[in-house]
Structure 1
Amino acid sequence: MMSSSVNTFLIKVSGLVQGVGFRPFIWRLARAMRLNGIVFNDSEGVTIYLNADEATVERFAQRLGDELPPLARIDRTSTQTVAFVSYDTFEIASSQQGEVSTGCAPDAATCSECRNELFDSSDRRYRYPFINCTNCGPRLSIIRQIPYDREFTTMVAFQQCSECTAEYNDPADRRFHAQPNACKTCGPQVWLEDKLGNRIAAKDAFICLNEAIRAGRIVAIKGLGGFHLACDATNPASVTALRIGKHRPDKAFALMVRDIGVLSRYAQVNTRVSELITGNSAPVVLLDPQPACDRPIADNIAPGQYQLGFMLPYTPVHHLLLEHIDVPLVMTSGNRSGSPQAISNDDAREQLADIADLFLFHDRPIQNRVDDSVVRDIAGRMHYLRRARGYAPASLPLPPGFAKAPDLVALGGELKNTLCLLQSGRAIITQHLGDLEDARTYDQYQATLDLYRNLYQFESDLFVCDLHPEYLSGKFGEQLAGQGKTLLKVQHHHAHLASCLGENAYPIDGKPVLGICLDGTGFGLDETLWGGEFLFGNYQQIRRLAHLQPFPLVGGVKAITEPWRCLYAQLKQALPLEDLQPYQALFPQLASPVCLTFDRMIEKGLSTPMTSSAGRLFDAVAAALGCHADAISYEGQAAIELESLAHQGDPRTPPYVFSITDNLIDPAPFWQALLEDLRLGQRTKADMALAFHKGFSDVLVDMVNQLRTQEDFTTIVLSGGVMQNAILFNALLASLEAQGFDVLTHQQLPANDAGLSFGQALIGAARVLSA
């Protein structure tokens, strides 16, 4: 029987519990239950002391979990009795600078209460573009250092007025310790400029922006984590002008719509999508478009793709912008193609003056660039394509067995880079940083590492990087090693496998699994380029059991941007030269004299590294079926358009056949059949594209079953950028699960290279733990 005597209980809570209104929540809960004690932040999260009996503490803990603030997340809670201390009331105690190392919360979309106040003419913040509270608003984008107090954010320049100060200091108020708290009297302000830098007088800047957009103009808008370029998505001329200005001929534009009602007119929305897109993170979600609508979206929004990326307004600026607009707006990053998104007013003036007709500026500095997150529904599961605003820098718990993992930094890959810090049993993954080939992105990469080491008071000298000798992240690691730091190197696809294992809380001592890792390029243990791999292993080590038949990457990186080179190498390898001649009329490139040069390059091994890349196989098939054979303008374009083509195919179309020899998947039979279908013209290209996807999925499953006779495994991991192909992923997942395999997939991080840093970190930690 429980004791009814009053004791002092110590409750420790860790997770996302700082900067999210957790302490005032505890204050309100304790006072509602008439409990005395204190609550404060510490280096592990939040600490609570309560005077109560056991039954009351149990009720308190239950309500603690059931009534969390919108942005909070509890990872662990512990409760114990301590020496009795009598408290007269319940109070919030201040944390001392230097005590807190839990970083900061992600930026959060405008909450419903702030949105209601924004459009309430009787509210003192009516139409104020920076309205926020503890439950919403900027976090990562404005923080400079810890602790997350106003003086260490870009809000330091704005002195709160008496009314805002009263809110900020009142634990019962929704804006208690909301660091960006402000109003039109004391806070940041917006203004308009033309492309020449002249200020434009306007009674309401947003009405002026609306008029410009309706007139077909392009506007630049300073948002939460960077600038956006916006225009009317139903106006093809405006979209074309934007593409020309950004030097972005083909890559899809993201769209923003006012609300779910407008979204439902343009896209197919289910309950799961609705909850996601209206939630605190408010990502871009790829959706199937509605077949018809009154004002159709321009055809050049997402050329060659069958889905469109939609998001809802997630800041007061966006809500005011779209208040009277009932069609989608293009809302794309404010930059020239290949450059990072502009975050400062001066950078926007320099980068965007030749693109935008009108600029909306404000005077709250953006400290940290944060791109929009992008997710996609595949097989009823949400898959992250880019994890940034709304999600980073939330931490992930480490899998069982990693409790004593050393603190370390994983440096990620070359493309879609992220960094990962392991600290105190958790992994902190940064926001999407982009491709390190751009000098300004590389500078941001180094600055972000400094920021996170500061935010989390991180001191470790242990680093982990990719095995590839030419990755800039790896070269940065070598520089650190030259300064006396310890550097571990991890194979690319091993990191993919480990990342997926870690997301699924697979234990460090779990049985070896089979990983199917399919992507564009990764430096292999044999110093060739891998990308279509069957790996057997765990966090500590892997063995390569099987892979795609390697073929020469003609011209090295040139073959990535010119898919017909991959097609030429595949056909040359699959068929004797004399058998190819009847098909040369199908592919004009094969008659080019440059092919003779390719032959000599292949014969002598000059700039023709061998690769087993599944991504490059998809590129070759795309080239054969007319999807940007000559050149692509963005990474993965040919393969993306191949998936879109396959989406139009007849579901009844039979699959192509591949062969397996000595644990190698050989596409030669497929190429022979495809060429005949192209020559005869009796099968549509859409059916051929779908038949390829089906056949490739079938041979992957056949290989799994063959390997099942050679090794003992029941768990299969699916990872790598090719797994973002919905048609392939759906078919592969269904077939493997139907055969009784436990299939692990990415749930919280992208399957692409953005997940590498987490996998690198786990492998590095596992090696240290097993040493």
Structure 2
Amino acid sequence: MTQLANNQRKRYLVNIYGIVQGVGFRPFVYKTAKQYGILGWVNNSGGSVTIDFTGTAGNIKAFIITIVKNPPTPAVIKKINCKSLEYLKYEDFEIKESSNKTSTIKFIPKDMGTCSECVKDIMDKSSTRYRYPFTNCTKCGPRYSIIKSLPYDRESTTMSSFNMCSNCQDEYNNEENRRFHAETNCCSECGPSLILMNNKGEVTKCEDVIYETIEFLKMGKIIAIKGIGGFHLACSGRNENTIAKLRNRKIRPYKPLAVMMKDINTVKQFCEVNEKEEEVLLSNKRPIVILRKKPDINLPSNIAPEQKKLGVMLPYTPIHYLILEQIDILIMTSGNISGCPIEYKNNSAFNALKNIADYFLMHNREIYLPIDDSVVKVFNGEECIVRLGRGYAPSAENLDISDDIVALGAQEKSSVSLSKNSYVYTSQYLGDLQDLNCYKNYESVLRHLIKILDVEPKVWVCDMHPFYISSGYKKEGVKIRVQHHHAHMAGCMAEHNISEKVIGVIYDGTGFGLDGNIWGGEFFIGTRASFNRVGHFQYVNIQGINAAIKEPWRCAASYLYFCGYKGEIIKNIDENKLNIVNQALKSSLNCYKSSSLGRFFDCISSLIGLKNFITYDAEAAIALENIIDEEVKEYYRYKIKNENNVFLIEIKDIIDGVINDINCKVKKSIISAKFHNTISKLTCDMVLKLSQIYKISKVILSGGVFENEHLLKAIYDELKKDGLEIFFNSKTPINDGGISFGQMAVAETRVQSTEYRVQ
């Protein structure tokens, strides 16, 4: 381009891939073209933006540099293709009608929180959008949740049923307006509207439904509020009695509830917020961020019982901003029956939630795909996704996979991943597939992504577990089965672009092993293609199959039996139940062998009297982490033995130490600290042994147990001191929500090999 004579016009075709639809990219290109005297056109093409243009050497260079270096804030450019074409005389520059090219790389625009300019509009009495709850522009508003197909145009979304009024159409056509080519543009004259009704289906007649909703919230009512991706159940975050009522009605006694706070200053009153956490909170993704609570804060303890942390988000729709004008803190938990997917259709939500909510604040903009709020935390200064959802999903990573592949994920915390044109797209969190409604939603999202991304699956990847529902989804075609913990390791490796051999430390709750036993306390040496299991926690016979996960006392009884103790040590459990479990263990009835560290945590939590039963996933382990005495540096004795070149971590000495402390009436907080310190120390010892033997310095830490931040930090810091390179998941969940991505990372290396193909 730079060699052209300044007065000689040339023509180029540029394709830009990434998050470039639904973010004001075409208007941006249009204005930039006008600025530099570029002639031609721009359009949405498939999932990309295409620019066909002519210009001279100087203005072409300036045009391209401006587009690449200064795109609109929400845009993310992943790839650019540029080629010269035969010269064609253009008279002007225009935004042309979109085209659907199925062969192009596609990136689905994500839902975005309301931008500051739109917030000003809804708060400004002189604005035509004063208090309009669906105000948006090219920088903000719903995207993924309302898209039926690509390219992203109004007729491809659920906004197609709303025809723009003349004023909105003028804004849409006006290149100086920030709503220039905003596909979701609307106002009170032509757009969606709100309705407020009680749980008997009676419409509340009032002048302003938002004001009325605020009054009901102040009175202690529970409101089901329809948002971008589905319904929330909302109530005042300062009313302890209403929160207790919500917990009782939803049958959610202990699991922490998310809160939405008015602004960042309110958040800082109640939580410790570092610079990175503030950046994430204020981003247009607006996730729930897990923050450390300040001591002695004046908030109801039943928001997050016995927790040191709080899940906090800021407003991200006009509805939220308007309500939070007068209420500074709201409980905003997923609008669903516990264990079921989030409700997103008006009629279904009313029928499902009328025994929980007192009122329903609903609207008539259809949600095409339900999506939960994302949950993230900041660890070591890095944003780490805990639950992939609104604002982040579907994610897109370049794994350079040539085939169209679908990875079916895990059973709980399920997700799906699809590959197309070298990119892997990972869906939002889809819940526990053992629930029929979750499975139906899983199928719906999978079908939608296959269609919208034009995926023609040649290979299906699934977990090795013979009874996982996801593994049985596809009966025909090539199927690759991936060991659960290898998927954890490979996913983390793919995130960090690691191909060579690593040491994998995979700590988890449940994963079907190559030997038919349940794994979860594993040390691997391997690559994305294959692995060797070189160490693990001793197998313990766990009684109760699925019941043991919900009833940690069964884990405690099983570990005690293994170590030669009687179950009477376990507090508050009926003696007859203990005898039945011990008899079952004696005859190995309804038992399975497990090396799971998750079950070991459950055991200790029960033994010291924290949790014999749980009401949500990992509750016992979370309770154990929350009581740690950070000042304690002691640890329990442990043994690591070598059996046929596989290191086994023996658990009896650890159990002996815990039992001795219980008998000596040592504080629970000290026992918890010593147990955590023990796991950290033995993990580091194992890794150093393996590093010396195998001459490997890269270490992967992955699996759901590493949601335990204390454990992750202790191991990370110690191994760093020893000069090793430590990696953990951040772009994808470290828990089972990242399994489908990990399965895809394994499939990438195996897809050409018939050795792994199972029909």
TM-score in terms of structure 2 length: 0.95
The whole-number CA distance in structure 2 between the counterparts of 1:111 and 1:33 is 28
The residue matched to 2:26 in structure 1 has which SS?
Answer: helix
In structure 2, the partner of 1:3 is 3
In structure 2, the partner of 1:309 is 311
Q: Is the 8 A contact 2:557 2:582 kept in 1?
A: no
Are 1:544 and 2:533 matched, yes or no? yes
Alignment equivalent of 2:260, drawn from 232, 238, 256 = 256
The residue matched to 2:591 in structure 1 has which SS?
Answer: coil
The whole-number CA distance in structure 1 between the counterparts of 2:480 and 2:623 is 38
In structure 1, the partner of 2:654 is 670
The whole-number CA distance in structure 2 between the counterparts of 1:87 and 1:769 is 47
Are 1:186 and 2:186 matched, yes or no? no
In structure 2, the partner of 1:425 is 422
1:222-621 residue pairs with structure 2 within 5 A?
Answer: 222-293=226-297, 296-326=298-328, 328-398=329-399, 402=400, 404-477=401-474, 479=475, 481=476, 485-506=477-498, 510-574=499-563, 576-577=564-565, 584=568, 587-589=571-573, 592-621=575-604
Cα distance, 1:712 vs structure 2: 3.0
Q: Relative to structure 2, which stretch is displaced further, 11-20 or 407-416?
A: 11-20
The 1:585/1:9 distance shift into structure 2, 3 A limit, reads closer
Instruction: Output one character per residue of 1:374-413: Cα deviation in whole Å (capped at 9) or x when no partner.
Output: 0112233222110110011231121xxx3x5311111111
In structure 1, the partner of 2:704 is 721
The whole-number CA distance in structure 2 between the counterparts of 1:566 and 1:30 is 67
Is there any run of 5+ residues in structure 2 with no aligned partner, and where? Answer: 755-759
Instruction: Output one character per residue of 1:249-272: Cα deviation in whole Å (capped at 9) or x when no partner.
Output: 111100001111211111111221
Cα distance, 1:55 vs structure 2: 5.0
Letter in 1 for 2:435: D
The whole-number CA distance in structure 1 between the counterparts of 2:107 and 2:679 is 44
Q: Is the 8 A contact 1:16 1:394 kept in 2?
A: no
The whole-number CA distance in structure 2 between the counterparts of 1:734 and 1:63 is 42
Q: Is the 8 A contact 2:341 2:441 kept in 1?
A: no
The residue matched to 2:543 in structure 1 has which SS?
Answer: coil
TM-score in terms of structure 1 length: 0.94
The residue matched to 2:44 in structure 1 has which SS?
Answer: strand
Instruction: Output one character per residue of 1:461-518: Cα deviation in whole Å (capped at 9) or x when no partner.
Output: 32111111111101213x3x2xxx2211111011111111111122xxx321111111
Instruction: Output one character per residue of 1:426-455: Cα deviation in whole Å (capped at 9) or x when no partner.
Output: 111111111111111100111111111111
The whole-number CA distance in structure 2 between the counterparts of 1:754 and 1:602 is 33
The residue matched to 1:355 in structure 2 has which SS?
Answer: coil
Instruction: Output one character per residue of 1:511-570: Cα deviation in whole Å (capped at 9) or x when no partner.
Output: 211111111100111111111111111111111111111111211111101101111111
Q: Is the 8 A contact 2:48 2:107 kept in 1?
A: no
Q: Is the 8 A contact 1:374 1:387 kept in 2?
A: yes
The whole-number CA distance in structure 1 between the counterparts of 2:730 and 2:422 is 20
Instruction: Output one character per residue of 1:267-317: Cα deviation in whole Å (capped at 9) or x when no partner.
Output: 111221111111110000011112244xx2111111121101000111111
Q: Is the 8 A contact 1:658 1:696 kept in 2?
A: no
Q: Is the 8 A contact 1:103 1:147 kept in 2?
A: no
The residue matched to 2:419 in structure 1 has which SS?
Answer: strand
Q: Is the 8 A contact 1:586 1:678 kept in 2?
A: no
The whole-number CA distance in structure 2 between the counterparts of 1:212 and 1:82 is 63
Cα distance, 1:62 vs structure 2: 3.0
Letter in 2 for 1:321: I
In structure 2, the partner of 1:167 is 171
The whole-number CA distance in structure 1 between the counterparts of 2:23 and 2:395 is 12
Q: Is the 8 A contact 1:395 1:428 kept in 2?
A: yes
Alignment equivalent of 2:54, drawn from 51, 54, 70 = 51
Is there any run of 5+ residues in structure 1 with no aligned partner, and where? Answer: none
The whole-number CA distance in structure 1 between the counterparts of 2:148 and 2:49 is 22
Cα distance, 1:26 vs structure 2: 1.2
In structure 1, the partner of 2:757 is none
Cα distance, 1:101 vs structure 2: 6.2
Q: Is the 8 A contact 1:101 1:455 kept in 2?
A: no
The residue matched to 2:62 in structure 1 has which SS?
Answer: helix
The residue matched to 1:320 in structure 2 has which SS?
Answer: helix
The whole-number CA distance in structure 2 between the counterparts of 1:770 and 1:511 is 19
The whole-number CA distance in structure 1 between the counterparts of 2:584 and 2:61 is 73
RMSD: 1.8
Instruction: Output one character per residue of 1:127-161: Cα deviation in whole Å (capped at 9) or x when no partner.
Output: 10000111110111112233322222211221111
Are 1:121 and 2:121 matched, yes or no? no
The 1:41/1:363 distance shift into structure 2, 3 A limit, reads closer
Cα distance, 1:625 vs structure 2: 2.0
The whole-number CA distance in structure 2 between the counterparts of 1:674 and 1:90 is 75
Letter in 1 for 2:330: L
The whole-number CA distance in structure 2 between the counterparts of 1:671 and 1:637 is 21
The whole-number CA distance in structure 2 between the counterparts of 1:49 and 1:741 is 50
Once the two structures are aligned, what percentage of the paired residues are identical? 37
The residue matched to 1:465 in structure 2 has which SS?
Answer: strand
Q: Is the 8 A contact 1:515 1:534 kept in 2?
A: yes
In structure 2, the partner of 1:638 is 620
The number of residue pairs the alignment matches comes to 746
Cα distance, 1:170 vs structure 2: 3.4
